[in-house]
């Protein structure tokens, strides 16, 4: 029964719950970033590069079977047929996804850190001098005057 109690304490800690929420939001956010890259950024890059389709950038490593009836220039068709292909175009797309996601997370962490940092306050007026210090100063000054 002790292990169940330990697990319950572990699972209900604030940090674990925050992590779970972060993972769920991160998964959803990842889908958004994937869509932004696939549907918005990659078409623009394709137009800039003269119609280059990154999803079809690959190097065929294996032989095409004799029964293959698909397009020999289609990455997806060759993969479906079981031909070994080195798909560096898909890697480029995933790399762009990662860079965008990492940059957005960097901005979010920076924003949260700025919220946590206490605001720089204007210099406060100096605190009034305590009475005992004033009294000691008076005694010092009177002793100096007596020595003269």
* Alpha carbons 96 and 91: distance in angstroms, whole number: 9
Residue 74 falls inside a structural domain: no
The sign of the torsion formed by the CA atoms of 106, 108, 111, 113 equals negative
The pLDDT of residue 14 is 64
> In 110-119, which positions are buried (b, 16+ CB within 10 angstroms) versus exposed (e)?
eeeeeeeeee
Binned at pLDDT 50, 70 and 90, residue 96 comes out as confident
Distance, CA of 13 to chain centre: 23
pTM over 0.85: no
Assign residue 36 the CATH number of its domain: 1.10.1200.120
C-alpha 75/C-alpha 77 separation (Å) is 6
3-class SS of residue 126: coil
The full DSSP string for 24-47 is HHHHHHHHHHHHIIIIIIHHHHHH
Q: Does any domain span residue 35? A: yes
Q: Is residue 78 part of a domain?
A: no
pLDDT band of 94, cuts 50, 70, 90: confident
Residue at 31 is within a domain: yes
**Which pLDDT tens digit goes with each residue over 2-59?**
888 887 777 777 677 777 778 888 888 888 888 888 888 878 887 887 877 777 888 9
Cross-strand pairs, 86: 59
Is residue 126 in a domain?
Answer: no
Q: Which domain holds residue 44?
A: 2-52+87-121
Residue 24 belongs to some domain of the structure: yes
Domain count, the chain: 1
Q: Return the pLDDT at 137.
A: 92
């Amino acid at each position: 029964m002790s292990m169940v109690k330990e697990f319950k304490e572990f699972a209900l800690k604030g940090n674990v719950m925050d992590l779970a929420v972060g993972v769920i939001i991160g998964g959803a956010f990842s889908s958004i970033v994937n869509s932004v890259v696939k549907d918005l950024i990659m078409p623009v890059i394709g137009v800039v590069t003269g119609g280059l389709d990154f999803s079809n950038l690959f190097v065929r490593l294996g032989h095409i079977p004799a029964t293959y009836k698909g397009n020999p220039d289609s990455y997806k068709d060759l993969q479906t047929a079981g031909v070994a292909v080195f798909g560096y175009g898909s890697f480029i797309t995933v790399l762009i996804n990662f860079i965008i996601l990492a940059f957005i997370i960097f901005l979010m962490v920076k924003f949260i850190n700025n919220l946590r940092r206490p605001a720089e306050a204007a210099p406060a007026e100096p605190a009034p001098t305590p009475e005992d210090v004033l009294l000691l100063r008076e005694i010092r000054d009177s002793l100096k005057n007596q020595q003269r």
